[in-house]
Amino acid sequence: MTTAPTGSTATGTEAETIRFVAPGIDSLNVRMGPSTSYPVVGRLMPGAHVTGVLAGDWLHITGGPLAGACVNCGYLTAEAPPAPPSTPCPRITGRVTSDDQFANIRSGPGFAHPVVGRYTHHEVVTGALVGDGPWIRTERGYVNSGTLTTHTMDPSSLNGRIPVHLLSPIPLCYNASGSFDPGYTSTTPRYLNSAALDALHRLQAAFKRRFGHYATIDLTYRSYDEQQFWFDKFSSPRAAIPGTSNHGYGLAIDFEERDRPWIYSWGAAANRWLLAHQAGFGFDNPFARTLQEGEDYHFNFVG
């Protein structure tokens, strides 16, 4: 430990200033008064800074938890230490996962930023990860990494074949209350891509503020075998050919469907709200152009 030498008593004051622990000092005593005869009340570590008023050889600290104490100016400098070298942002290359949809390009790293373009299905995307993610800065704007596949250059090879431990379970409180084939109940686990689930949490919080309950969900991720079940039951075009559904990537949500019109049907209150706010949470209903045909309950995560 380096200690401050005996210094003179303060004889004048100046305006507040910021000083930094000088290079080469491993620790610097902070004392109760402007002399080494005063007891030590704290220590400053390398790179630390203090705000205070210069008085002779001592700085009288005026801000922070050590306010009122003093530190010897001989071990301080007005020059800030050099900033540590920045860590390069990881570069990421992937393909848009969806087989028939797109990935939104936004003007900034977040859903509050407007959509300024799209990368098409399976298009190659390269950029730098922003912080810890999930946004990637590309030459055209910002893309949510949840819409990309980086494990393979053939995203279709993953459709319906993603182990559920690589996906994220949605809370059971989002599940629809009914039972339906193949073996679904209100307690059957549903899974999503983790970035899609993060966006869904935000959507659900806003939906509950508006309607007093969560937007109930029938289906999310579908394995290849489950896609085959629905295709055998409904055939095309209502059911996607097995291995081509966005459900097979954990990027699609079917809100609760019923045999009669209700809150998620075209024109109903909940459906109108979802369509009005979907872009703000990174979702898109691909059938919304007509508001009359197609799956009013189906929403894809597009970032």
The more confident residue out of 67 and 214 is: 214
CATH number of the 87-157 domain: 2.30.30.40
Q: Is the pLDDT of residue 174 over 60?
A: yes
Q: Where are the domains of the chain?
A: 16-77, 87-157, 159-303
Per CATH, 16-77 and 87-157 having the same topology is answered yes
Query: Got the DSSP string for 223-266?
Result: -HHHHHHHHHHH-TTTSPPTT--GGGGT-EEEE---SS--TTST
Residue 161: the pLDDT is: 95
Are 264 and 255 in contact by the 8 Å Cβ rule? The answer is: yes
Spelled out in words, what is the top-level CATH class assigned to the domain 16-77?
A: mainly beta
**C-alpha span between 252 and 262 (Å, rounded):** 21
CATH topology of domain 159-303: Muramoyl-pentapeptide Carboxypeptidase; domain 2 (3.30.1380)
Provide the CA 200 distance to its chain's centre, in angstroms.
12
Q: What is the pLDDT of residues 39-60, one digit of tens each?
A: 888 888 888 899 999 999 999 9
Confidence of residue 253 (pLDDT cuts 50, 70, 90): very high
- Global confidence as pTM: 0.71
